[in-house]
């Protein structure tokens, strides 16, 4: 069984980015992301495979975006 890692959503690694397409569980209330150790996914911006724990702070072509949902727009109905 693979070890699970729990990360705060603001940690700048691929698993906490909204552009990363990999297996993860997101708890919006607790603001954490849970991934398996060694998990891989695809960066939708760079179109390359990335480890979930890949540190993106030094990546110049990275467009890391927090998983937080956008704030509601006043006057706009939610679906």
pLDDT in tens, 28-59: 889 999 999 899 999 999 999 999 999 999 99
Asked whether residue 63 carries a pLDDT value surpassing 80, the answer given is: yes
pLDDT value of position 7: 95
Which residue segment(s) compose the domain that 43 sits in? 4-51
* 13 occurs within a structural domain: yes
In a domain, 71, yes or no: no
Structure tokens at 56: 């993106």
Q: Given pLDDT bands bounded at 50, 70 and 90, which one contains residue 74? A: confident
Note whether residue 8 is domain-resident: yes
Residue 22 lies in a domain: yes
Domain membership flag for residue 79: no
Residue 32 lies in a domain: yes
* DSSP state letter for 54: -
Q: Is residue 42 part of a domain?
A: yes
54: number of CA atoms within 13 Å, CB side? Answer: 20
Host H or E run for residue 33: strand 32-36
Q: Name the pTM for this structure.
A: 0.81
pLDDT at 79 over 70: no
For residue 27, is it within any domain?
yes
């Amino acid at each position: 069984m693979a070890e699970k890692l729990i990360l705060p959503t603001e940690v700048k690694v691929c698993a906490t980015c909204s552009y990363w397409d990999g297996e993860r569980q997101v708890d919006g209330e607790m603001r954490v992301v849970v991934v398996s150790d060694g998990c891989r996914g695809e960066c939708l911006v760079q179109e390359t495979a990335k480890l979930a724990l890949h540190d993106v702070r030094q990546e110049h072509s990275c467009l890391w975006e927090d998983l937080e949902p956008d704030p509601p727009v006043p006057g706009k109905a939610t679906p």
